Each structure stands twice: as C-alpha cells, then as structure tokens.
C-alpha cells in the first residue's frame, strides 16, 4: 500500500514503543470475523456463571482448605473474606474491561490496551502460571480424591507408584494425566459441548457443598472454634495467601469474550455473581468443617471434607459422596481453566508474539484444536511428576501479578480512552482499583522470599523469550501508522 506520509516512495513510520493497541483495534482484530480463525457466540449468562463457578470451585476448597486452616486456624473464615475482598476489588476492574473490550485475551489484551506490548507479553507469560500451572496443581488434587472415592466405594486405592509423583513416593500420577486428557477431548469437540458439561458439573458440585454444610452444621460446636486465631494476624495473613488459591479462575470468564452471546452485558454480571456466590459458599464450608471437628483435625489433612463427613456420620458413604463431588468439581476446573489458557495463547498468537499454531481454529468445531492438544501435553508433564505444594505459591504470585496489572490498566485506560464505551464502571474510581492493586501487592509479599526468587527467574525467562521472538515478530510493530489508522474503527 502506498505511503500517505513523508516523501514520495517512502514508508510511513512504524509503530514505536510503547507499542499500545487501542481497544477499538483489539475488538476489530478479534477472531469473530476472521476467516479460519472464527469463534462461535454460543454462551449465555447462565453458561458464563456456570463457567466461572466451574473455573473457581475445586482444588482450593476440597484440597486447599486444610492448608489454609493450618496457617490461620478457625480464623480461616477471615482469611477467605480477605482473599475475597482482593478478588472483588479486582473483579470490578475485570468487569469494566471485560465489558469494554470483549475479546478472548482477558488480562493480556487489557494490558496490551492499557500498558503496552512488553507488559502485555509478561502478563500473558504470568497467565501460564494462573491457567497452565494451576491445571497441573488441580489435576494432582483430583488424583487425591479419586483415591478417596475408590476407598469409600470399593475399599481399594490405586498403587502409590501410579497415583503420585516421585516427590510423594510414587513414579507417575496417572489420574492427573487422565483428567487433563479428558478435558482436551471435550474442548476440541466444541465450546457448546464444553459449556454444557461445565454447567452440569457446576450445579452438581454446588449441591454437594451445600449438602456438606448441612451435615457439618448438625455437629457444630462453639468450642471447636476456640482459640479463634492461634497464630494471630500473621497467621491470618498467611492463611489469606493460601486461601487466595481457592479463588483463582474467576477472571477466566473474560476469556469467553468472543464466544458469549452478549459479552458487554453478561461478562460483568457473571464475574460479580460468581465472586459473591463462591465467597458465601467458602465461608459456610469452612465454618461447617471447623465447627464439626475442630481446626486441628482439618489442618494438613488430604481430602479434608470427606474426613469431616465420615467423622460426623460415622459411615464412609457420606465421605464417598463428597469425594465424588470433589472428583466432578476438580474435573470441571481443569476443563474451564484449560479453556481459558488456550484462548489466551490464541490472542497472543494473533499478535505474532508466539508461534502461529496457537491461533488456528478448526472450521468444523470452531475450536483451537492444535493449541488445545499442545497445552494438554505440556501441562500433563508436571501433573504427572510434581507435587501439589511445589506449584501453588508460584501459581498464586503469578495470578496476583496479572490482577495487579489489570487494576493499573483500568487507571491507564480511564485517562487515555475516556470515551470508551463501558457497560460497567468501577465504583468509587480511582479508590477501588488502587485498593485492588494494594491488596494484590500485599498478598504477593506474603508468598515469601523463595517464591519471589522463583518468580523473578520466571519473569526473566519471559523477557528473554519476548526479546528473542515476540518483539521481532510482533504484528503491531509491522503496521505502519497509516495501516493502523485505516484498520482502526472510529468507535468500539
């Protein structure tokens, strides 16, 4: 295309740093209207809420509750509320940006619009921890409850060599690999099928947790909550960091921006409904468990909820039902989180920052088949060989970093794009995003020095990858100023 600026025959200047892609251009270049890359809009509000619940409720409450109780004691209820407050403050930011920029890239795309390409790449890199690594952690938790279910129903357990990694006395965790493989099969079949499966599993696991609360509260004793905070404020802070893992995944709702029927209206509503529902449920489950058997009985106990039901009822059948609910719940998390991961990678691939194989969508199923299979294989490896504790803290700090970036992106876009069509606005701006940022930074601090060191190494590797591949292959960098002007619509 001929140049429209400068001397005749010369090219217009390239887009210079900071490379920022406007919300209008992000929406215009989304996959909905691109031949060979199109996604189908099949998800309504109910499916989005079920998808959010499916992404959140799983390993964190069924497996991670015992770790949070070990840190905070009965004050874990306060830890859950503080973790929820962090999520709520940031959920407002996700709701605003998810409604204004309804694309598949979620935090990555929001950072691209608000903070520039380098930060966006690092956010996408950190999302590998939130979505990708958490798949591995969740799959390991699934394996624990599969054993609990088999023990309750049949009186048998899988051999340790085939149900745990080398760090836990086994050879390979085959159930963890199996649940990832099953999620891959569902995801490549199509979003409609995946959404139906996620909705069914979400309803089932909510019913199981409500039933658990009903059983636990029948044996509730006030004395089991004393001392309420044995480790003081420090224990509550550490418990909040541990409890935060239970909320990871709510932002996956924004990755459905190109497959939601009415994303500008439904995505903000779905995010806020999910956070409120899950917070009430978590606090009720924690109170029921601790009130029934006490904090010492729950702390550091695998499959803690099954144990509580067995103790209260005096039979293993109740624990077996809870174990079945956990198996379904955790499987739905794997499905929802893998969905989110593939959509993040698709957006990065469209922008040229990672190889093009991740943006290819099957015309038959309207899903990124190749990208889904690659994600499944890559994250089955740590699930097969790594223990759960090895990845939880790193996953948590990576998630908090992306949430911090989203809060900053809201501030940046309010200043840079005041006329952007926003179907939802963060209340009490700018106090709310600043508080969200502060809470994220505090919880990152609470993860400890060792986690910070590993996170710094992880970020350095991401910067090296961006410098070596992403920056040179960026499609935005290859756009001339006149190209960008022609491709960008006038309004979102």
What string of DSSP letters covers 413-445?
HHHH-TT---SS--TTTTHHHHHHHHHHHHHHH
Contact 135, 335 (CB under 8 A): no
The one-digit pLDDT tens for each residue of the chain (492 residues) are: 333 333 344 343 344 446 888 888 888 876 544 444 456 677 788 888 888 888 888 767 877 788 888 888 889 899 989 988 888 899 899 989 988 898 878 899 999 999 999 999 999 999 888 777 777 777 877 887 788 788 877 888 888 888 877 777 778 888 888 889 988 888 888 767 777 777 888 888 888 889 889 999 999 998 888 888 888 888 898 888 888 878 877 887 887 777 788 888 888 888 889 888 889 988 999 899 899 888 888 887 777 888 888 888 877 777 788 888 888 888 888 888 888 888 889 889 989 999 988 988 888 877 888 888 998 888 888 888 876 665 677 888 998 999 999 999 999 999 999 989 888 899 999 999 999 999 999 889 888 888 899 999 999 999 999 999 999 999 888 774 445 555 554 443
Q: How does 276-292 read in b/e, with b if 16+ C-beta sit within 10 Å? A: ebbbebbbbbbbbbbbb
Backbone angles phi, psi at 260, to 5 degrees: -90, 145
CA 420 vs. chain centroid, Å, equals 26
Homologous superfamily, domain 43-471: Amino acid/polyamine transporter I (1.20.1740.10)
Ramachandran assignment for 116, one of left (phi > 0), alpha (psi -120 to 50 degrees), beta (any other): left
The candidate with the shortest Cα–Cα distance to 247, out of 85, 458, 390, is 85
Query: Can you give the residue ranges of every domain in the chain?
Result: 43-471
Say what the pTM is: 0.80
d(CA 126, CA 134): 11
Q: Which helix (H) or strand (E) holds 138?
A: helix 134-154
Contact 403, 104 (CB under 8 A): no
d(CA 73, CA 79): 10
């Amino acid at each position: 295309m001929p140049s429209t600026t400068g001397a005749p025959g010369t090219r217009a200047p390239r887009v210079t740093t900071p490379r920022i892609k406007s919300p209008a251009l992000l929406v215009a270049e989304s996959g909905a209207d691109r031949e060979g890359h199109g996604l189908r809009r099949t998800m309504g509000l109910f499916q989005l809420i079920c998808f959010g619940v499916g992404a959140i409720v799983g390993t964190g409450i069924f497996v991670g509750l015992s770790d949070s109780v070990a840190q905070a004691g009965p004050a874990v209820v306060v830890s859950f509320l503080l973790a929820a407050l962090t999520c709520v403050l940031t959920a407002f930011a996700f709701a605003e940006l998810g409604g204004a920029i309804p694309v598949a890239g979620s935090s990555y795309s929001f950072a691209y619009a608000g903070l520039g390409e380098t930060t966006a790449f690092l956010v996408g890199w950190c999302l590998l921890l939130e979505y990708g690594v958490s798949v591995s952690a969740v799959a390991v938790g699934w394996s624990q409850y599969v054993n609990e279910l088999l023990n309750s129903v049949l009186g048998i357990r899988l051999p340790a060599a085939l149900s745990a990694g080398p760090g836990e006395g086994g050879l390979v965790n085959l159930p963890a690999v199996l649940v990832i493989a099953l999620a891959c099969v569902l995801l490549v079949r199509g979003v409609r099928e995946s959404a139906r499966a996620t909705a069914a599993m979400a309803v089932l696991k909510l019913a199981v947790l409500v039933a658990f609360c009903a059983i636990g509260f029948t044996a509730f004793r006030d004395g089991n909550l004393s001392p309420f905070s044995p480790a003081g404020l420090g224990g509550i802070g550490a418990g909040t960091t541990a409890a935060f893992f239970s909320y990871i995944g709510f932002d996956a709702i924004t990755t459905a921006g190109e497959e939601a029927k009415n994303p500008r209206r439904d995505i903000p509503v779905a995010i806020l409904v999910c956070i409120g529902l899950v917070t009430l449920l978590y606090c009720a489950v924690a109170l029921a468990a601790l009130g029934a058997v006490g904090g010492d009985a729950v702390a550091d106990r695998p499959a803690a909820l099954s144990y509580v039901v067995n103790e209260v009822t005096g039979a293993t059948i109740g624990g077996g039902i809870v174990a079945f609910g956990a198996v379904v719940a955790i499987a739905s998390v794997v499905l929802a989180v893998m969905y989110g991961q593939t959509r993040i990678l698709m957006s990065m691939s469209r922008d040229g920052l990672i190889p093009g194989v991740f943006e290819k969508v099957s015309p038959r199923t309207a899903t990124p088949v190749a990208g889904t299979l690659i994600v499944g294989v890559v994250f089955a490896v740590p699930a097969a060989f790594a223990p759960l504790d090895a990845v939880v803290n790193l996953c948590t700090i990576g998630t908090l970093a992306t949430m911090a970036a989203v809060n900053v992106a809201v501030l940046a876009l309010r200043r840079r794009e005041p006329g952007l069509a926003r179907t939802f606005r963060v209340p009490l701006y700018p106090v709310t995003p600043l508080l969200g940022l502060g809470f994220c930074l505090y919880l990152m601090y609470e993860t400890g020095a060792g986690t910070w060191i590993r996170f710094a190494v992880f970020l350095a590797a991401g910067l090296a990858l961006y410098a070596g591949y992403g920056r040179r292959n960026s499609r935005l960098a290859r756009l001339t100023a006149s190209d960008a002007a022609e491709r960008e619509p006038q309004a979102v």
